[in-house]
Amino acid sequence: MEVMDAVRHVEEGVDVAGRSRRLRLRRPLTYAVMVLLAIFFVFPVVAMVVLSLQPDETQVIADQDSIWAFFPRALSLQNYEDIFGRDVGRAVFNSALITVVTVGLGLVVNSMCAYGLARLQWIGRSVVIGAVVALMIVPFQSVSVPLLLVVNRLGWLDTYHVQIIPFVANPFFIFLFYQAFIGLPKEIEEAALIDGAGRWTIYRRIVAPLSRPTFATVGILQALFVWGSFFWPLMVTRGPDVRPLPVAMQVLFSDPNVPLGDVFAFAAVMTLPILALYLAFQKWFVQSVASQGLKG
């Protein structure tokens, strides 16, 4: 026994020494890898911002494939002034409006539906729950062409509501709210019911405030979807009046007469507000996106 112990001690001693040497080597290596990866993930955004601040188009073209894509040689807002002269203000307004209204209505409609499903007993409830779960699987693209036919007949093309109303209700968001609501303790609600509070009051005053994290999660997720939405607006918008940012970006980008500096400025306008929000509410963003893992 003693011999075995001694052997083990020796082995452990050797091992510890070896491991700490390996660790001492590994740490800087790990950091080096992580920094390289960080560069890989941030360089497009840095280049976008730096080049958007360069007013001289020939300089943008000269700098875009050199180290000067990352270190500003000029700090001018000329490109930004130029693009706002090109209806970009309108596109920003359109996207902001569509996003805010869709998310606002979506939060109310989807959470109300989930509350009805989670807390009230009514005929048809289990059928609706089954339908919501089944509909989660239907991809929007597969219904887009007949939907285009419908909105075309309704005369909805080139409007705000054609970009809003179809995206308010969402089975996946109903499901997220439903999961959150059934997890809430029933006692507070029951006490409120005995005190004579109506269901609407309970939903607004108790359930909604208690589920703020879920509202934030769903709101961010839906806002990201709507803000970046490209496929549907491409089909239902014609002119610049109601055109959202991604479509406006494509129009600008495919026009060979538009200077690159303007394209980069436009990209920055589309990206920086979202990135700022992401940095400010990071935890919520990550949680939102990760909540899609529940779909499985």
Partner 1 sequence: MATAIEPMPRDRLSDRRRRRGRELLQGWGFAAPAIVLLAVFLVLPFILAIYSSFTDQRLVPNPNLPTKWVGLRNYRRLFENESFLSGLVFNGIFVLVVVPLQTAFALGLAVLVNQKLKFRNAFRTIYFAPVAVTMVVVAVMWTSFFNPSAGLVNSVLDTVSFGFLTPERFGFLNWALDRHGARAAIIILSIWQGVGFQMVIYLAGLQSIPDSLYEAARIDGANPWQQFRHVTIPQLRNTTIFVVLSTTILAFALFDQVEIMTQGGPQDATQTMILRLITFGFRQGQVGMGSALGVFYFVLVVVVAFTQRRLLKEERAVA
Could you give the CA distance from residue 2 to residue 15 in angstroms, rounded to a whole number? 20
Nearest by Cα to 86 from 259, 236, 230, 274: 259
Which range in 78-86, 179-187, 210-218, 248-256 contacts partner 1 by CB under 8 A?
248-256
Helix pair 245-253, 88-119: axis angle to 10 deg: 150
Between 6 and 286, name the residue whose CB sits nearer to partner 1: 286
Q: Is 176 in the site for partner 1 (CB under 8 A)?
A: no
Q: Is 148 in the site for partner 1 (CB under 8 A)?
A: yes
Q: Given candidates 32, 143, 182, 188, which one binds partner 1 under the rule CB under 8 A?
A: 143
Q: Is 115 in the site for partner 1 (CB under 8 A)?
A: yes
Three-state DSSP state, 168: coil
**What is residue 205's DSSP assignment?**
I
- Within 8 A by CB and 6+ apart from 290, the residues are none
Alpha helices in the chain (DSSP H): 2-52, 57-63, 78-84, 88-119, 125-135, 140-153, 161-164, 171-182, 187-194, 199-202, 208-210, 212-228, 231-236, 245-253, 260-280, 282-290
Between 84 and 253, name the residue whose CB sits nearer to partner 1: 253
Query: From the CB of 100, what's the least distance to partner 1, in Å?
Result: 16
Q: Is 279 in the site for partner 1 (CB under 8 A)?
A: yes
Q: Enter the tokens of residue 114.
A: 């989930």
Q: Is 124 in the site for partner 1 (CB under 8 A)?
A: yes
Between 179 and 271, name the residue whose CB sits nearer to partner 1: 271
Q: Is 135 in the site for partner 1 (CB under 8 A)?
A: yes
Q: Enter the tokens of residue 164.
A: 């809003």
Q: Given candidates 97, 251, 258, 274, which one binds partner 1 under the rule CB under 8 A?
A: 274
Q: Is 93 in the site for partner 1 (CB under 8 A)?
A: no
CA distances from 296 to 135, 172, 293 (A): 14, 11, 6
Window 253-272: contact mask with partner 1 (x via CB under 8 A): x------x--x---x--xx-
Q: Is 270 exposed, middle or buried (0-12, 13-18, 19+ CB in 10 A)?
A: buried
Q: Which of residues 61-80 bind partner 1 (CB under 8 A)?
A: 61, 64-66, 69
Q: Given candidates 101, 128, 184, 258, which one binds partner 1 under the rule CB under 8 A?
A: 128
CA distances from 264 to 60, 61, 259 (A): 10, 12, 9
Q: Is 157 in the site for partner 1 (CB under 8 A)?
A: no
Query: From the CB of 271, what's the least distance to partner 1, in Å?
Result: 5
Q: Which of residues 181-210 bind partner 1 (CB under 8 A)?
A: 199, 203
Q: Is 171 in the site for partner 1 (CB under 8 A)?
A: yes
Q: Which of residues 10-39 bind partner 1 (CB under 8 A)?
A: 30-31, 33-34, 37-38
Q: Is 101 in the site for partner 1 (CB under 8 A)?
A: no
